[in-house]
């Protein structure tokens, strides 16, 4: 087995495969005709990647995924991949030698899908980026390091993603109808892999207890098969029905400006005050953050408007900022019930909504 391959394709494959998550699990590498096919199962998801190569001899090997990470250090434009008796060689200026594994080839279960839908990949990625912060991810494939449940994908007249860590509850949708009706609870690691694939379109294939994703760009074809997570989200429609007695409205950019000025203080405890002055004139919304010395950092938001009952509430400035950053540009509406109940945030599209808990001193995010 021998072929030549561009090093940037190897590095692109590594970003999707995330070998550090797989440790000793097997990778199958098959050289055939004019392409290379890589297969990996990391305990959560099956990934199959295929990309072009200059093939001299065909063949197939299996090795441990943990060796893939060393290939990220290749600096040459291309390398020669060759199979020897006891190892697989990646040779450029230097040489990486990878020992073979006795494990069997990772194989996707041989089942037929019960439905499918095709949608634009950038829009589909955006769906997960909007809710991923509520499941401990930043939506770009990087772990943000806090509690994780799962991300639920609901398929009906629209594609809807739902995520929660019990303190933040986020819902986003895109108007892409599917003949298939169902929900899937996807592990976060599976969603992270999806955010790294390229192309213009993505096809979702629905299986009884799994979901498949297929996309292609000019360099690479990617298939990801994700069995459903054993974790699940309870029925959430009732959670979305937050009745607001006080509403705070303004442009996304204004909210971002206010919250950005509050980040200079090392505290996530943000107090929002909406009330009337001594002459019963409605005052502008005010934002306070208590500094370590006991003083308050204060900001008046002239571009925001509030309606309803007077309210003073403490919120987590970090989670509120995360939620606003993912809203569409334009008006954002925040609805409060009282100073202790969860509050909601919604953008102008009506397809993005977040439920956030009021601030608790026990929070560390």
- pLDDT, tens only, 189-242: 777 778 888 889 999 888 888 889 999 988 899 999 888 775 555 555 555 555
Higher pLDDT, 172 or 360: 172
Half-sphere exposure of residue 19: CA atoms within 13 angstroms, side-chain side: 21
Lowest-confidence segment of 31-45, 59-73, 135-149, 250-264 by average pLDDT: 135-149
Lowest-confidence segment of 80-84, 113-117, 132-136, 322-326 by average pLDDT: 132-136
pLDDT at 292 over 80: no
**CB-based contact 45:225 (threshold 8 Å):** yes
CATH number for domain 2-99, candidates 3.30.1490.20, 3.30.70.890, 3.10.150.10, 3.40.50.11290: 3.10.150.10
Residue 133: strand, helix, or coil: helix
> Which pTM does this prediction carry?
0.77
Residue ranges matching CATH 3.10.150.10 in the chain: 2-99, 115-237, 242-356
Measured in degrees and rounded to the nearest 5, phi and psi for residue 19 equal -60, -25
Write down the pLDDT at residue 277: 87
- Among residues 349, 154, 296, which one has the least CA distance to residue 236? 154
**CB-based contact 63:81 (threshold 8 Å):** no
CATH for 115-237?
A: 3.10.150.10
In angstroms, the CA 25 to CA 320 distance is 39
The tokens describing 135, both together, are 């499941």
- pLDDT one-digit tens code per residue, 107-129: 777 778 888 888 899 998 888 88
Write down the pLDDT at residue 294: 57
Instruction: Name the fold adopted by 242-356.
Output: DNA Polymerase III; Chain A, domain 2 (3.10.150)
Write down the pLDDT at residue 143: 44
pLDDT at 144 over 50: no
Ramachandran region, residue 308 (left: φ > 0; alpha: ψ -120 to 50; beta: rest)? left
In angstroms, the CA 307 to CA 313 distance is 15
In the sheet that holds 168-174, the strands lie side by side as 182-186, 151-155, 159-164, 168-174, 352-356, 343-347, 331-336, 246-251, 305-308
- Among residues 307, 267, 260, which one has the least CA distance to residue 289? 267
| pLDDT band per the 50, 70, 90 thresholds, residue 365 | very low
pLDDT at 347 over 90: yes
b/e code 53-63 from CB counts within 10 Å (16+ = b): bebeeebebbb
Lowest-confidence segment of 139-153, 199-213, 300-314 by average pLDDT: 139-153
Burial class (CB in 10 A: 0-12, 13-18, 19+), 175: exposed
pLDDT at 141 over 50: no
- pLDDT one-digit tens code per residue, 8-61: 888 888 888 776 556 678 889 999 988 999 998 877 788 999 999 999 999 999
| pLDDT band per the 50, 70, 90 thresholds, residue 304 | very high
pLDDT at 301 over 80: no
Write down the pLDDT at residue 146: 34
**CB-based contact 18:42 (threshold 8 Å):** yes
Higher pLDDT, 276 or 184: 276
In angstroms, the CA 107 to CA 109 distance is 6
- Among residues 58, 1, 63, which one has the least CA distance to residue 27? 63
Mean pLDDT of 176-195: 77
Higher pLDDT, 106 or 236: 106
Mean pLDDT of the chain: 82
In angstroms, the CA 166 to CA 185 distance is 16
**CB-based contact 29:44 (threshold 8 Å):** no
Q: Which helix or strand (DSSP H or E) is residue 125 part of?
A: helix 121-131
Residue 110: strand, helix, or coil: coil
Higher pLDDT, 68 or 22: 68
In angstroms, the CA 3 to CA 71 distance is 16
**CB-based contact 212:157 (threshold 8 Å):** no
Lowest-confidence segment of 64-68, 244-248, 309-313 by average pLDDT: 64-68
């Amino acid at each position: 087995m021998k072929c030549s391959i561009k090093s940037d394709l190897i590095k692109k494959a590594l970003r999707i495969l995330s070998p550090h998550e797989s440790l000793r699990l097997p990778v199958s590498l098959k050289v055939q005709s004019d392409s290379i096919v890589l297969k990996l199962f990391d305990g959560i998801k099956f990934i199959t990647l295929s990309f072009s190569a200059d093939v001299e001899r065909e063949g197939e090997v299996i090795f441990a995924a943990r060796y893939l990470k060393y290939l990220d250090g290749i600096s040459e434009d291309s390398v020669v991949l060759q199979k020897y008796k006891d190892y697989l060689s990646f040779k450029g200026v230097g040489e990486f030698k990878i020992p073979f594994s006795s494990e069997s080839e990772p194989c996707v279960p041989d089942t037929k899908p019960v439905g499918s839908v095709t949608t634009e990949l950038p829009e589909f990625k955006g769906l997960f980026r909007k809710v991923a912060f509520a499941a401990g991810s930043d939506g770009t494939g990087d772990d943000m390091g806090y509690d994780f449940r799962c991300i639920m994908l609901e398929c009906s007249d629209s594609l809807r993603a739902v995520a929660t860590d019990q303190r933040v509850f986020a819902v986003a949708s895109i108007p892409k109808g599917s003949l298939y009706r169902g929900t899937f609870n996807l592990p976060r690691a599976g969603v992270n892999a999806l955010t790294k694939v390229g192309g213009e379109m993505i096809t979702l294939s629905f299986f009884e207890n799994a979901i498949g994703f297929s996309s292609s760009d000019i360099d690479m074809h990617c298939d990801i098969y994700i069995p459903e997570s054993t974790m699940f989200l309870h029925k959430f429609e009732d959670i979305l029905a937050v009745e607001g007695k006080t509403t705070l409205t303004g442009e996304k950019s204004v909210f971002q400006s206010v919250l950005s000025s509050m980040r200079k203080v090392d505290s996530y405890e943000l107090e929002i005050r909406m009330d009337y002055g001594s002459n019963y004139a409605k005052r502008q919304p005010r934002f306070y953050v208590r500094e370590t010395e006991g003083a308050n950092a204060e900001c008046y938001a002239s571009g925001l408007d509030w309606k309803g009952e007077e309210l003073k509430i403490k919120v987590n400035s970090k989670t509120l900022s995360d939620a606003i950053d993912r809203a569409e540009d334009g008006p954002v509406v925040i609805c409060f019930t009282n100073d202790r109940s969860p509050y909601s945030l919604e953008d102008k599209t009506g397809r993005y909504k977040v439920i956030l808990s009021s601030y608790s001193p026990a929070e560390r995010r």
